[in-house]
Amino acid sequence: MKVIDHIKNAKSALFSIEILPPLKGKSIQSIFDGIDPLLEFNPSFIDVTYHREEYFYKKREGGFLEKVSIRKRPGTVGICAAIINKYKIDVVPHIICGGFTREETENALIDLHFLGIDNVLALRGDAIKSEGAFMPEPGGHHYAYDLVKQIVTMNKGHYLEEDLVDVAPTGFSIGVAGYPEKHFEAPNLTADLKNLKRKVDAGAEYIVTQMFFDNKKFIEFVNACREMDIHVPILPGLKILTTKKQSSILPKLFNIDIPQDFLEEIEKCQTDSEVREVGIEWCTRQSKELIKFGVPCLHFYTMGQSEAIRRVASKVF
């Protein structure tokens, strides 16, 4: 079932999760072990992230350097197929611009279509570490907006090879990312919202937000979207803070703020186990407030924290 249909048919807030593929060479059992404790809450869908290639330079004879591409977390499509086979739960693979040509994007979407997967989250993706700014693949998309347009075009039965006949249209429900505290590259929130509206006007059917810890900022973001004439469902992305180190790392990585009262509670903790309890309680309050506000779904970023999410969900759903 499409995500948008799950939302339309829901009588109360849905529960969904997002998982990371394991590192190359690791077993998929870690994925199953992360999902199993959360099955009692009937996740409507499971997002599977996609991680683009990274580069390193290998020294060759004569002092020459060879640029080598590696992908640390492969397997998004395979994991999606495995989840459907094992759990019969809908999946949402992430499709990114970075590292893909338009043709490679089309081929990936064809594979997903053949597997019966009818949901995708369209993202630009981050710059790789060896590059100071995002660089599209030659022949690839620079913006998520262009990626959305390509998916919509395939949904209409139009492929890159214009002379194809009797083509089968795809039927993807398209989600995109939103940033309550603005994308770090956007000059201001209004500019970021205009870009988001372009993606929605191009065919995106729902928005999943970056993680946040301040519900006020999420509510302000939703209201700003509505004023911008963006009326698709907006799903809040939630992360449970579990270590003191995360309180300094997450703001840098994701351009988010930690509310002062939350930070003060964290700083009182002597151990990470105490931080974990504070984080669970904070996320529980967040979740209850967001459901009261009327969100269609609570979307949890698992990041290996299934037990913490299980404890929050048991108090909320």
SS (H, E, C) 277-308: HHHHHHHHHHHHHHHHHCCCEEEEECCCCHHH
Q: Give the CA count within 13 Å in the CB-facing half-sphere of 122.
A: 29
pLDDT tens figures, 252-302: 999 999 999 999 999 999 999 999 999 999 999 999 999 999 999 999 999
Q: Would residue 115 be called left, alpha or beta, if left means φ above 0 and alpha means ψ between -120 and 50 degrees? A: alpha
User: How high is the pLDDT of residue 212?
Assistant: 98
pLDDT in tens, 31-62: 999 999 999 999 999 999 997 765 545 566 66
pLDDT averaged over every residue in the chain: 92
Active site residue 205: no
Using alpha carbons, list the distances in angstroms from residue 243 to 9, 140, 212, 247, 299: 37, 38, 16, 7, 20
Among the listed residues 18, 106, 181, 205, the single catalytic one is 18
Mean pLDDT of 226-247: 97
pLDDT tens, residue by residue, 28-38? 999 999 999 99
Pairing mode of beta strands 206-211, 234-238: parallel
Distance CA 197, CA 231 (A): 10
Q: Which residue has the tokens 């999760």?
A: 17
This prediction has a pTM of: 0.93
Helix (H) / strand (E) element for 68: namely strand 65-70
Query: What is the CATH number that goes with domain 3-316?
Result: 3.20.20.220
What is residue 211's predicted lDDT score, i.e. its pLDDT? Answer: 97
CB 53 within 8 Å of CB 128: yes
CA–CA separation, 87 and 294 (whole Å) = 28
Nearest Cα neighbor of 32 from 78, 74, 79, 76 is 79
Dist CA 164 CA 100 (whole Å): 22
* C-alpha 304: how far from chain center: 15
Q: How confident is the model at residue 26 (pLDDT cuts 50, 70, 90)?
A: confident
Structure confidence at residue 113 as a pLDDT band (50, 70, 90)? very high
Map out the domains of the chain as residue ranges: 3-316
Encode pLDDT of 125-176 as tens digits: 877 776 777 888 889 999 999 999 999 999 999 999 888 888 889 999 999 9
Taking a C-beta distance cutoff of 8 angstroms, is the pair 134, 127 a contact? yes
pLDDT of residue 194: 97
